[in-house]
Amino acid sequence: MIELDVPAFILTIVVFLALVVYLNKTLYQPLLAFMDAREAAISRDEELANQNLSDVGSEQAKIKEILDKARDEAASIKQSGIDEIKTKASKELKAKADEFEADFETYLEELAQSKDELKKSLREKLPEFKTDIKDRLARI
C-alpha cells in the first residue's frame, strides 16, 4: 500500500500554514484593503453624484421659477405699455375728432354767414334784375 512519511507530511502542513500566513499578510490583506478602499471611493463618488443631481434639480427649479417670474413681469410690462399706448391713441383720436368737430362747426357758421350775405346781396340786386328782365322782355 501507500506509505506515508509522517515527518514529511507534518513538514508539508507547516510549510503550507506558513505560506498561508505569509500570503495573508503580504497579498490578501493589502488586496482586501485596496478593494474596500475602492468600494468606499465608488460609494462616496456615487453619493456625491446623487447629491449633485439633486442640487441640479433644485437649481433647475429655481431657474424655472426665475424664468416664470421674468415672463410674467414681461407680460405685465407689455400689457401696461399696450394699455398706455391705447389710452394715448384714444386721447389723440378724441383731440383730433374734437378739432375736426370745431373746424366743421366753424365751416358751417361761415357757410351760414356767406349764405346770409348772398341772400342779402341778391335781395339788394333784385330790383336791378327785375328791371333788367323787364327791359329784355320789352325788347322781344
The Cβ of residue 43 has, within 10 Å, a number of other Cβ atoms equal to 10
Return the amino acid letter for 14: V
Which cell numbers hold the place of 58? 433644485
What is the C-alpha separation between 106 and 104, in angstroms, rounded? 5
On whether the pTM is more than 0.75, the answer is no
Q: What is the pLDDT along the chain (140 residues), one digit of tens a residue?
A: 678 899 999 999 999 999 999 999 999 999 999 999 999 999 999 999 999 988 888 899 899 999 999 999 999 999 999 999 999 999 999 999 999 999 999 999 999 999 999 999 988 888 888 898 888 888 87
